[in-house]
Homo-oligomer: A and B are copies of this chain.
Amino acid sequence: MVTVNKNYLKLPGSYLFSTIAKKVAAYQREHPRERIIRLGIGDVTQPLAPAIIDSLHKAVDEMAHAETFRGYAPDLGYDFLRNAIAANDYEARGCRISPEEIFVSDGAKSDSGNIQEIFGIDNKVAVCDPVYPVYVDTNVMAGRTGEYNPAHENFDNVIYMPCREENGFLPEFPKETPDLIYLCFPNNPSGAAITKERLQEWVDYANKTGAVIIYDAAYEAYITEENIPHSIYECEGARTCAIELRSFSKNAGFTGVRLGFTVVPKELVRDGVTLHSLWARRHGTKFNGAPYIVQRAGEAVYSQEGKAQLKTQIDYYMRNAKVIYEGLKNAGYSVSGGVNAPYIWLKTPDNMTSWEFFDYLLDKAHVVGTPGSGFGAQGEGFFRLTAFGTYENTVEAIERMAAL
């Protein structure tokens, strides 16, 4: 008789964004005439840049002729894309990352969920609180987190690093030494950025303790300030302690195109095994490459036209971030984020819980955001708005909120 993976049953409720989608759909059914503005899920709204569209059409045409048709892609990605990534995202920033250390995938969500597989079940995981739910949920599914504790809304065997106003929404070294440390900067959900000096401290800590940092840099394209690292490999020693996750979703609008990559330096060795070889084995066994046409689209991100067009796109979203940040500040809200990240993190007014504010905002302003408590216990009393809407919708949403 088959048994199921009982770790799945420890997961409380459904995936955060599924819950929000259901709540919004139900509200819209009951109020069909209200125009809801969605600043909740981090989905982009601008169309793909012309350079990317051209590249896609060209690749599709190649698939139409036997001489240029492409079947199975190389497991780890086409060289044309891995080379472009190494040159532009790393070499240009003074980071020593070779194309062979870059694993192309169908997106950072898959990678951030799958990466824990190459580690033992006995590892102790540390996450920021609040946190992108995928890091925790995938470790729950693997059996690495212990039981769910409803009173504290957390798992017994996870180290939560509170990121609150008091510490500038940045984690501090935990009392108990973790084995696997998930860090995401610029941060989802809080929009907080980490300086190079602070990140260097984490790299040193990991090298000293033998921990591995899973560094999610999905939002690096939104960094506007100096001294904020775009990659953890800008820090000395990161090659022996850090894996970096990258996405094309936010810098190039690929949320519906699906492309990402993970960097595993060859010097990263634990238990006498190179993690690079383990991740290569996983890729080769459970994945069959990102689509050729999508990898060509990724290549176009690094072309001269692509870069210029995407800078305009990011500027567009960052103008929205400013509208939200300043609009809410002027309306008396306590806000952070929005400067090096497309997320604005606000304190709910009048001591409302995050979900109370969600319902209130949906009902009174017909604006959808994401309840901070959905990202962890320490997110309670906070709320995330994203800059990925259209400019017009963003302005209107903030006007509605300011008028409440």
A residues whose Cβ falls under 8 Å from a Cβ of B = 1-6, 8-9, 11, 14-15, 18, 41, 43-48, 50, 53, 56-57, 60-61, 63-66, 69-73, 75, 106-107, 109-110, 113-114, 117-123, 133-134, 137-138, 141, 179-180, 209-212, 253, 255-258, 270-271, 273, 275, 278, 281-282, 284-294, 390
Contact of A43 with B64 in the complex, beta carbons under 8 Å: no
Contact of B60 with A56 in the complex, beta carbons under 8 Å: yes
Q: Which residues of B have CB within 8 Å of A14?
A: 281, 284
Docked CA distance A11–B258 (Å): 30
Given contacts A60-B60, A119-B2, A141-B117, contact A256 B71 (CB under 8 A): yes
Q: Which residues of B have CB within 8 Å of A285?
A: 15, 113, 133-134, 137-138, 141
Most B CB contacts (10 A, CB to CB) among A41, A57, A256 go to A256
Closest-CB distance, A319 to chain B (whole angstroms): 16
Closest-CB distance, A314 to chain B (whole angstroms): 16
Contact of B113 with A255 in the complex, beta carbons under 8 Å: no
Selected from B3, B43, B212, B390, the residue in CB contact (under 8 A) with A271 is B3
- Closest 9 CB pairs between A and B? A1-B210, A113-B286, A3-B120, A43-B71, A71-B255, A47-B69, A15-B284, A70-B256, A109-B288
Q: Which residue of B lies closest to A57 (CB)?
A: B60
Given contacts A47-B66, A291-B256, contact A211 B117 (CB under 8 A): no
Contact of A48 with B63 in the complex, beta carbons under 8 Å: yes
Q: Which residues of B have CB within 8 Å of A8?
A: 118, 273, 278, 281-282
